[in-house]
A and B are shown apart, each in its own frame.
Chain A
């Protein structure tokens, strides 16, 4: 059902690039309200779930708890060029496509083992996935949880030591 919608809308979009861009992606979002102008709530959830596999909860909180999905949605909307937005959404779509091929459902409907299986494959094979992974990592590390929970936080170091043995983060 979803795939058919994709093809029809995609086909219509060929003649008009701008329209095509919008309609191409509406397919995967049609069941989910939008989080912002670019990503749906489902997209945000998906990024958080991918984040949870890449940076899971250990003795410190993971990427999902740090809200990487919500932050990334803001960055993609406000900072990405149209071309980068398009590529970002295509990568999410391609992950779902792979998920549907392998497990007959979208990424967020996957069981944990299936998700790990997919991320392993993406991490090894998919070049575009690296940009999402890097974004998840930097979003985690720049979050309050990342800066104060995962790393040690020194807002006012008070000194410079150019030769210490202990890790400063």
Chain B
């Protein structure tokens, strides 16, 4: 518990995922001696990656075992959890949480966090998103507009390395792109066929993904189309953006970063005289010993639920309900995104064509509901987008056996198929929340998180439209046997949890100001998903966290230099 100089830094970053990695990079590059704390083990880029290990060398060739299901009943249900990726997901028994209502919480506690296993889709938010709350009155108004964040998207994107196509859409602003990954012949044909067919402007464009189509140097190569990142395997080619491949090595190169794995932050200390946070209390998750670290500024990037948990657990005389929680909104307004409603069909044509290589993205349908007066719905506010793609696999064995049957296993499927599925907005509701259990603690002594979150009327009102509109797109594109589906995903399953420490202009109804700075405690900044005022309609919120992080650090360091912090 010593308060000596070796525990003193200019800045502390809590968490090493997508936003923590950016915080580390930016702070270190601005010359601040920065302590980066991560509760899990270290994972160094390329070292120990096993994406090049042939599948047949895995004891179960990728299958999930009964032991996996027993130790990780939640994680083993996540879409990219498998025999190879499971080392990047937590043991649920060691990391319990309480589902007041069903909530699937995917977690990766290691250096790099979930940036190793993320979906990589990357879409800018637009003013359609930043003005949404003000327009329809759900949640609080975003304290920023597109013009405030646009320069910061411009700043982070070339370093992230996003492939995509320039479309010039006002409600889906272009990023600074590397060349897109091409559509296959059926996607191209369907995209062409639907052009101009819909009064609401429905269109199919290339997916935008943080998979690189250009070499980026420093251990970051071009995509090799081996399909491993989609299955949650870290990439030995460094061909998708992760903290491990990109931001943490950049931070380390400055010589200013001290990375401390196995360091779980449980509390932020507050000095009521100075009205500032002073440091953090860490439990070493290997030795269970406690340590204190101190800094002038603290960036919390522990992920939406854990960042709020740390603050709720930091109680003092001034803040009996959690540090920086004078608004009472800390932990509230939790959002995810409903997803997985769509349609699929078969394509008659291109029977002599197939695809080569495994493309880590697909096609994208930008939002077309409630984007202007003529597309306004009476039954719900906000909207949704689609991701999907076409493909043609193998026919699979039919009836029979023997040499002929064996030969038939090489046959391609009779037809191409195409499917698209929706990602939709989840409105901010105060009563959707997380909080700490009053008695139960995990093995590290941290109170267990309770999650009480649901989809409500507006989300439900979109479901039929998401299915039917998908079918309309595919039918207009020439697909046959079109059928709709709903994967009935529960909150959390989209892994886009956001909102527990939202930004806002009014300290009475929000936790952070327009710079991601706590209203109550000016030297604490939060730039992970918890800062979001609305979930947004497009998937890929991560680049928004990255842009907000860089923007916030630019402000914080200027304030530090002005001696305002």
A interface residues with partner B (beta carbon < 8 Å): 53-56, 58, 62, 71, 74-75, 78-81, 116, 119-120, 123-124, 133-134, 137, 141-144, 147, 150-151, 154-169
Contact = CB atoms under 8 A, between A and B. Distances in A.
Interface string B32-72: 00000000000000000000101110011111111100000
Majority SS of interface residues in chain B?
loop
B356 A79 contact: no
Nearest to B64: A79
Interface residues of B, number: 47
Contact of A160 (B59, B63, B182, B353): B182
Interface string B503-514: 000000000000
B355 A162 contact: yes
Contacts of B405: 54-55
Interface in B528-555: none
A120 B404 CA distance: 14
Contact of A75 (B63, B185, B226): B63
Given A55-B405, A119-B401, A157 B226 contact: yes
Interface in B173-223: 181-185, 187-188, 223
5 contacts: A78-B59, A79-B66, A141-B409, A162-B185, A169-B410
A55 B55 CA distance: 21
Contact of A137 (B61, B355, B397): B397
Contacts of A147: 54-56
Contacts of B185: 162-163
Contacts of B403: 56, 58
B357 interface: yes
Contacts of A151: 410
Contacts of A53: 401-402
B59 A74 contact: yes
A79 B359 CA distance: 29
B400 interface: yes
A144 B61 CA distance: 11
Contact of A167 (B55, B399, B402, B410): B410
A28 B61 CA distance: 29
A-B interface, 5 closest residue pairs, ranked by CB to CB distance from nearest: A162-B184, A157-B357, A160-B357, A163-B185, A161-B356
Interface of B: 52, 54-56, 59-67, 181-185, 187-188, 223-226, 350, 352-359, 394, 396-397, 399-403, 405-407, 409-410, 412
B545 to A, nearest CB: 28
A55 to B, nearest CB: 5
Nearest to A141: B409
Contact of A164 (B65, B356, B400): B356
A43 B401 CA distance: 20
Given A62-B406, A159-B356, A169-B410, 9 more contacts: A58-B406, A74-B60, A78-B59, A79-B60, A123-B399, A156-B226, A160-B182, A162-B187, A163-B350
B224 A169 contact: no
B400 A142 contact: no
Nearest to A60: B406
B401 A123 contact: yes
A147 B410 CA distance: 12
A55 B399 CA distance: 13
A78 B409 contact: no
